[in-house]
C-alpha cells in the first residue's frame, strides 16, 4: 500500500459508501497494515501479496460458496483477467481466458 492510503480509504475499496460506520473494518485494516509492511520488508511485496491472497481464498472457502467474500474475490479475479487480456492485446499477443469451471451436481 502506498504510505498515504488510510485504512478508511482501503475499506472503501470493498464497502459501498454509506452512512453506516465501518469502524470495525477500518480498525482491523489499521492493525494489519504494519504487519503487512513488515512482511514486505522480510520477503517482498509480491510474495507477501500472493501469501495474503492464498489466505483470503482459504478463508473465503470457509465462508461457503455463497459468501460475500467469495463473490468479491471472483469479481477481482475476473477484472485481473480482463486487464491481462487487454495488455496482451496492446502488445499484439493473445491471452487465453481461463476456462470456466462447471459443477454438475
64-76 confidence digits (pLDDT tens)? 766 777 777 778 8
Does the pTM surpass 0.85? The reply is no
Residue 81: closest CA among 99, 68, 64: 99
Residue ranges covered by each domain of the chain: 1-42, 44-94
pLDDT band at 39 (very low <50, low <70, confident <90, very high): very high
Q: Is the confidence at residue 99, as pLDDT, over 80? A: no
C-alpha cell at 62: 470457509
- Per-residue DSSP letters for 10-77? HHHHHS---SS--HHHHHHHHHHHHHHHHHHHHS-HHHHHHHHHHHHHHHHHHT-TTSHHHHHHHHHH
pLDDT of amino acid 77: 76
Q: Which residue has the higher pLDDT, 30 or 54?
A: 30
Amino acid at each position: 500500500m502506498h504510505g498515504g492510503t488510510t485504512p478508511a480509504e482501503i475499506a472503501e475499496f470493498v464497502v459501498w459508501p454509506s452512512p453506516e460506520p465501518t469502524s470495525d473494518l477500518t480498525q482491523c485494516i489499521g492493525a494489519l497494515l504494519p504487519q503487512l509492511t513488515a512482511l514486505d520488508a522480510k520477503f517482498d511485496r509480491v510474495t507477501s501479496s500472493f501469501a495474503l491472497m492464498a489466505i483470503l481464498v482459504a478463508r473465503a472457502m470457509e465462508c461457503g460458496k455463497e459468501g460475500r467474500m467469495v463473490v468479491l474475490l471472483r469479481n477481482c479475479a475476473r477484472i485481473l483477467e480482463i486487464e491481462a487480456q487487454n495488455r496482451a492485446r496492446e502488445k499484439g499477443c493473445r491471452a487465453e481466458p481461463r476456462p470456466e469451471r462447471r459443477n454438475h451436481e
